[in-house]
Amino acid sequence: GDVDTNAANIGDVKKAAAASKTTVSVNKKDTETPNLVLEETVDPADGHTNYDIKLANKVNLGNDNIVLDGADGTVKTKGNITSEGTVEGKDLKAGDVTVNKDNKGTVNGLSNKTWTRGQAPVSGQAATEDQIQAVDTRVMAVEDKVADFGWMAKSSATGTGQATGNNAATKVGDKTEVEFRAGDNLTIDQTGTTFTYSLNKNMTGLESVSVGDVANDKPGIVLNGADGTMGVRGKDGANASITAAKGADGLIGTGTGKDRIVYETKDANGNPVKEIVATMNDGLHFAGDNGNTVIDKTLNEKLEIVGGADAAKLSDNNIGVNAKDGKLHVQLSKELNDLTSAQFKNGNAVSTISGAGTTVTDGTNTTQYGPKGMTINPGANEISLTDKGLNNGGKVISNVASGGDVDTNAANIGDVKKAA
């Protein structure tokens, strides 16, 4: 029956064996090229059947999309082959392209043999030896040019410049180091590939410096360090050589001399003439008739020559200045003109001359001389002799000579007594 725990007889066993028959088949249709092979073998020991399923020597996948031939060891495909491992064995051929096993994995038959400059590359596509050779040829040509690349350099001079050394043209190649140096009194500043030369602010060791085209008789200056002179040529062609030398003492002399600026020119005959430059601290010595007293005045310092008179009461053309024996003589004219008055004084005695006349006094008595006469001690008892006559001020006229026989002569007392 169907109860699992019931005892089975021989008939039940045969029936179960017949119902348990196994059927194995390969390949979907017998008409297709078989990719699998089925082999059956019966085990003689117990009579059971073994089924071995194997690939056929030639496997066709996807209607000839991929064909694997075990007889000749080839793989054919209508599409691309992607490998995540290695391909070993004989040569691998895809179309006209062959991967050679015996030639250390080289690839032949590639069509990209040339390279056009500027073309867009195909990412991931292998380059051929033809293309590599073309690149190598160009690289070698460039290397040859680079090896021969360079520029010729030499030193030279123009104008007043100087070039020292052998001055030979020297080739500066690709890896040749060129050094730019700053010579005497020069400074070189490097910023990247820019080199800037400049003169030192403080130059030393120079023998001479020329400013302007002095060599061609043009205006300019020449500094000569050898003898400490400075040559100057002006616009009008005048020349002078300036230096420093021991010169005369200053205004207040010390007897040792003073350092001076000296410039040298030439006279009309071409002979050198030295001139010493004075400074504002130099000056002149002044003296009068009291020669022991000397007045020192520096340049641009005022010297006052005073007379003491009121500036509104001065006259002209009465004083002369004459040069004689290296001196200036200030002299009063012998003929004075346009004077208002003149006074002469000796102690109490004073004489005053004016346009109105002359007055003479000794401090007690005064006499006036005018155009109409003379008056002594003007006042109540004055004595005067004017155009109006003689006024003797009530005083005796003494020591009068005899008038003689001339009627118009004055008579003294003796003449009167004689006539009586």
What's the CA gap between 384 and 43, in Å, rounded?
208
Q: Pairing mode, if any, of strands 349-354 and 97-99? A: unpaired
Q: What share of the chain is helix, strand, coil (3-state, %, to 5)?
A: 10, 35, 55
3-class SS of residue 141: helix
Q: What is the DSSP letter of 128?
A: P
Q: What is the DSSP letter of 150?
A: -
What's the CA gap between 253 and 409, in Å, rounded?
79
Q: What predicted TM-score, i.e. pTM, was given to this entire model?
A: 0.43
Q: What is the torsional sign of CA 138, 141, 146, 151?
A: negative
3-class SS of residue 297: strand
Q: Judge contact between 402 and 390, C-beta under 8 A.
A: no
Res 321: pLDDT = 94
Q: Judge contact between 265 and 288, C-beta under 8 A.
A: no
Amino acid code (one letter) for 198 = S
Hey, which residues does 75 pair with through a beta bridge? 68
What's the CA gap between 6 and 1, in Å, rounded?
7
Q: How far is CA 413 from CA 68, 383, 395, 416, 417, in A?
A: 203, 21, 15, 5, 6
Q: Pairing mode, if any, of strands 92-94 and 74-77? A: unpaired
Res 160: pLDDT = 76
Q: What is the torsional sign of CA 92, 96, 100, 104?
A: negative
- Identify which of 302, 222, 214, 284 has the alpha carbon closest to the alpha carbon of residue 248: 284
What is the distance, to the nearest Å, from the Cα of residue 321 to the centroid of all Cα atoms in its chain? 60
How big is the chain by its Cα radius of gyration, in Å?
73
H or E element in which residue 198 lies: strand 194-199
What's the CA gap between 322 and 333, in Å, rounded?
12
pLDDT beneath 50, residues of the chain: 30
What's the CA gap between 204 and 180, in Å, rounded?
21
Amino acid code (one letter) for 114 = T
Q: What is the DSSP string of 216-281?
A: GT-SEEEEETTTTEEEEE-TTS-EEEEEEEEE---SS--SS-EEEEEEEEE-TTS-EEEEEE--TT
Res 374: pLDDT = 93
* Pair of tokens at residue 90: 């004989």
Res 264: pLDDT = 85
What's the CA gap between 248 and 257, in Å, rounded?
5
What's the CA gap between 245 and 262, in Å, rounded?
6
Amino acid code (one letter) for 189 = D
